[in-house]
Chains A and B, each alone.
Chain A
Amino acid sequence: MSLERFINQAVSSWMSEEGPDSDIVLSSRIRLARNFENIKFPTLFSHEEAQAIIAKIEEIHHESSFSKFGQMELLKIDEIQPLQKRVLVEKHLISPNLAEESPYGAVLLTENEEISIMVNEEDHIRIQCLFPGLQLTEALAAANEVDDWLENHIHYGFDEKYGYLTSCPTNVGTGLRASVMMHLPGLMLTQQINRIIPAINQLGLVVRGIYGEGSEALGNIFQISNQITLGKSEEDICRDLKGVVSQLISQERSAREALRKTSNIQLEDRVFRSLGVLSNCRIIETKEAAKCLSDVRLGIDMGYIDHLPKNILNELMILTQPGFLQQYAGGHLRANERDIRRAALIRERLKMEQDKR
């Protein structure tokens, strides 16, 4: 398969399209957790109960299909290839938990992959909407529509006092996890991020790297999400998160301007060195690739580089993960083989843009 076709098939709309403030906010996600009232949660349910839930979702999907957001497809976890599962995880369409530890899991996906409904993960139902840029309100509205559709057919576990009842007490109430993925190289380079993260935590929000382990954030990409799901309305949760995100956006923008003023040539040097590495490497590890991609994306946003599309960071962070590399290669790759493939894929992708010119 040509790389271009592979990319066209692999990329979801949130990776390729631009949204509001998408120079800094890569994507917005809303997740709603819901459960059937009279069936044990997936931690304890029987095989038969799990099957009954999937059958019910299948029935709803077939008999009153919901097409506002495009045609949906139902994938059962035990029927898809391990590599395909991994790719779905890498695209953030299903959770690692659903892929690895939910033998009775399934997912309903829309064509553009903006909406996915996970079945039999930690909760019976998890509705997820993933939009490009800062679009929490829009994603919440879409998630609510999907929720209303399912609610017409399912008796959800709900309590007047505790709200939507979930398997884990950290999700009860709204069952809502709102999160925003942000690219914050300016705050990293000016070393402000270590001061900012504790302040954000104090507001009841969680900051973590999406790629990378522990406190490390590969590619300077951070996810900010709400922790509290009980006692606040969905709109308030999103509004509070959006408020913090807006502040972060303006701090990141001023950090970038400060960098331009104080160390213009150093920054330009860093950007073009990284572009040089990506365009010429023959072996590259995830960590170095992520660092260079972040530099290049910053270079695009700040106008040093004008021949590359912005979404290259999003796209290549996803496409150079192990599952995708192996899918593109058509089989299993060892770690060192992946580093070679990763380098080749990045070079080829950059060459595609060169050829377009």
Chain B
Amino acid sequence: MICQECNQRPAALHFTKIVNGEKTEVNLCEKCAQEKGEMFMFTGGSGFSFNNLLAGLLNIEPSVQKQSQNTFHQEEILQCSGCSMTFPQFIKVGRFGCAHCYETFKEQLPPVLSRLHSGNWSHSGKIPKRIGGGIHLKKQVENLKNELKELIQQEEFEKAAQIRDEIRTLEKQLSSSNKGGE
């Protein structure tokens, strides 16, 4: 096999990379690989092996594998209506096809995400303004309720009472904003 860069020397390095969801075989001679390598060296690697790594990581998860086999054998294969991606495909590529994949694979995702994010599988950061104040308030109430629980456990009743009042105020706001919005 001849190197695809210079089309002169025999290819010594062979690997697969995934671009736009498609596998591409890459065959380079040592010299061209070095030239390319220098580019990666400076930029901390362009994630050549990352796809494989992630797929590996997702694959080890036994419950994921079981679920993906289940869906494969028993019911129809789960397929995203937005991009036609199936769950086995996602596991293989390690990338979603579109935003709707998250909805399509919602049953399968918690173990995958919690593995990647140290046990977390629920967002608690920024929220787009267009989603409206509703979620913001709900999240705030959720956080305060957790705090309240902790305070009660620690027997910090004075602070707990303050938090309880805050929750009440927010819940009032929430019910009025829901009425207003609908």
A interface with B by C-beta (< 8 Å): 35-44, 86, 89-90, 95-97, 100-101, 122, 144, 147-148, 151, 155-170, 172-174, 176, 204, 208-213, 223, 228-234, 237, 286, 321-322, 335
Contact = CB atoms under 8 A, between A and B. Distances in A.
Nearest to B47: A97
Interface stretch (B97-105, B147-155, B173-181): B97-105
B125 A42 contact: no
B114 to A, nearest CB: 9
B46 interface: yes
Nearest to B85: A44
B116 interface: yes
B127 A158 contact: yes
A140 B129 CA distance: 17
A41 B97 contact: yes
A232 B124 contact: yes
Contacts of B40: 96, 213
Given A90-B43, A321-B42, A43 B20 contact: yes
A96 B46 contact: yes
Given A168-B94, A169-B113, A43 B21 contact: yes
Given A44-B97, A231-B122, 15 more contacts: A41-B97, A43-B20, A44-B21, A90-B42, A159-B102, A160-B135, A167-B95, A168-B96, A173-B120, A211-B44, A231-B117, A231-B121, A237-B125, A286-B38, A335-B34
Contact of A168 (B45, B54, B103): B54
Nearest to B119: A231
A4 to B, nearest CB: 24
Contacts of B38: 286, 322, 335
B82 interface: yes
19 contacts: A40-B97, A40-B98, A41-B98, A43-B21, A44-B98, A95-B46, A101-B19, A147-B126, A151-B129, A157-B99, A159-B103, A162-B102, A163-B125, A169-B109, A173-B117, A174-B126, A209-B44, A230-B120, A231-B118
Describe A's contact surface by its main secondary structure.
loop
Describe B's contact surface by its main secondary structure.
loop
Contacts of A211: 41-42, 44
A41 B42 contact: no
A170 B129 contact: no
B82 A40 contact: yes
B46 A100 contact: yes
Nearest to B41: A213
A239 to B, nearest CB: 13
Contacts of B37: 213
A44 to B, nearest CB: 5
A165 B103 CA distance: 10
B99 A230 contact: no
- 7 nearest A-B residue pairs (beta carbon): A231-B120, A163-B123, A157-B99, A96-B46, A174-B125, A230-B117, A165-B99
Given A96-B43, A97-B46, A156-B128, A161 B117 contact: no
A162 B83 CA distance: 19
Nearest to A235: B125
B93 A165 contact: no
A210 B40 CA distance: 10
A320 to B, nearest CB: 10
